[in-house]
């Protein structure tokens, strides 16, 4: 055999095992690409594992279920505890035991059997007018005050059927009971300054405009507004409000992930989850989207830290997820969005 051909064959033989052994990971996610890509790039740089990403706007659980045992998915990453629990309830996840995950994530933010793990926390806060609600009065507010008659015609909120709100209402129902929630939603509806609609940022917008004095929204939107990422107009919205995290415990939702039931690259999937709770990755969550890291020793973005200490409500996320459908039904029955 000519030397050139021999060397070519040898090079091919050496290349094939390396290509075949190259680690890879298949990620299905509903998270925005702008947040996920920096994390994926760092993971690949650190481990050499290639991440194949499928961004799914909706129906992630349905896709996994339809793919069945043929599914290439190793990790499913979603926002909202209800979406995480749907993956578990439909037997689309598998349990994981990892000392790294169990040490980094507090027990209330992961499944006791390792079937789901929170990766970032999203606090549901009260927004109040800086101009019309004093700092002293704001500090005393609780979620229950949205139903107080003194805020008649002064409350703004997005749709009661939005996942952020159904999870929030579910948590209140776990604490106070179904009859209480029905009365509460009826009273809050009576206090609305406008129809329950729009988004969380529009709550701040309408407070600045004087349409309402108080509302309910996630803290990370304030970070996005104050940082100028939404433009100068939205910076003004953020400057017009105070963020109130109730001292008796703030409602928290999460983004999180599961290892897919039929994950072909299970070891890499666990490795990826462990990377996502590392100080470095948790810092990306804090900086990129102004969310609260789940890792207690991870630093907050300074804007988020300025909202004050976050004391998480004691109601378990599993209980909240289990009662969401019931809360949603009550939202409809009281005509909250009409």
CATH of the domain at 210: 3.40.190.10
Q: Are residues 113 and 261 in the same domain?
A: yes
Tell me the pairing of strands 241-244 and 117-129: antiparallel
Instruction: Name the pTM for this structure.
Output: 0.88
Instruction: State the pLDDT at residue 13.
Output: 33
Tally the C-alpha atoms within 13 A of residue 291's C-alpha that lie toward its C-beta: 22
Alpha helices in the chain (DSSP H): 3-21, 33-47, 60-67, 81-89, 99-104, 135-139, 163-176, 178-191, 200-208, 219-226, 232-239, 266-276, 279-289, 302-305, 317-333
Burial (0-12, 13-18, 19+ Cβ within 10 Å), 337: middle
Q: Are residues 186 and 86 in the same domain?
A: no
Which stretches of the chain drop beneath a pLDDT of 50? 1-21
Instruction: State the pLDDT at residue 5.
Output: 39
Instruction: State the pLDDT at residue 34.
Output: 80
DSSP one-letter string for 55-111: E-SS-HHHHHHHHGGG---SEEEEESHHHHHHHHHTT-EE----HHHHHHS-GGGB-
Q: What's the number of domains the chain is made of?
A: 2
pLDDT tens-place string over residues 234-254: 999 999 999 999 999 999 999
Q: Are residues 191 and 324 in the same domain?
A: yes
Q: Establish if 307 belongs to a structural domain.
A: no
């Amino acid at each position: 055999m000519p030397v050139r051909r021999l060397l070519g064959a040898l090079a091919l033989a050496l290349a094939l095992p390396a290509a075949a052994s190259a680690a890879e990971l298949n990620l299905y996610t509903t998270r925005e690409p702008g947040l996920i890509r920096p994390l994926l790039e760092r993971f690949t740089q650190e481990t050499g594992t290639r991440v194949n990403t499928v961004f799914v706007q909706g129906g992630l659980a349905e896709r996994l279920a339809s793919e069945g045992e043929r599914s290439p998915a190793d990790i499913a990453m979603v926002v909202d505890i209800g979406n995480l629990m749907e993956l578990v309830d439909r037997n689309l996840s598998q349990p994981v035991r990892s000392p790294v995950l169990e040490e980094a994530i507090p027990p209330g933010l992961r499944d006791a059997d390792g079937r789901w793990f929170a990766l970032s926390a999203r606090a549901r806060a009260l927004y109040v007018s800086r101009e019309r609600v004093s700092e002293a009065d704001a500090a005393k507010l609780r979620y229950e005050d949205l139903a107080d008659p003194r805020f008649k015609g002064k409350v703004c909120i997005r749709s009661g059927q939005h996942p952020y709100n159904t999870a929030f209402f579910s948590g209140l129902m776990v604490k106070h009971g179904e009859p209480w929630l029905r009365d509460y939603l009826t009273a809050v509806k009576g206090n609305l300054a406008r129809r329950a609609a729009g988004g969380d940022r529009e709550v701040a917008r309408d407070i600045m405009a004087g349409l309402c004095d108080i509302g309910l929204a996630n803290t990370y939107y304030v970070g996005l507004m104050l940082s100028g990422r939404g433009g100068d107009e939205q910076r003004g919205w953020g400057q017009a409000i105070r963020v109130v995290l109730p001292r008796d415990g703030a409602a928290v939702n999460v983004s999180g992930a599961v290892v897919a039931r039929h994950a072909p690259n299970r070891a890499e999937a666990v490795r990826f989850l462990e990377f996502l709770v590392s100080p470095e990755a948790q810092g990306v969550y804090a900086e990129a989207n102004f969310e609260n890291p789940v890792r207690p020793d991870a630093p907050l973005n300074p804007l988020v830290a300025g909202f004050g200490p976050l004391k998480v409500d004691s109601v378990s996320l599993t209980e909240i997820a289990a009662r969401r459908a019931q809360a949603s039904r009550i939202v409809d029955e009281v005509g909250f969005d009409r």
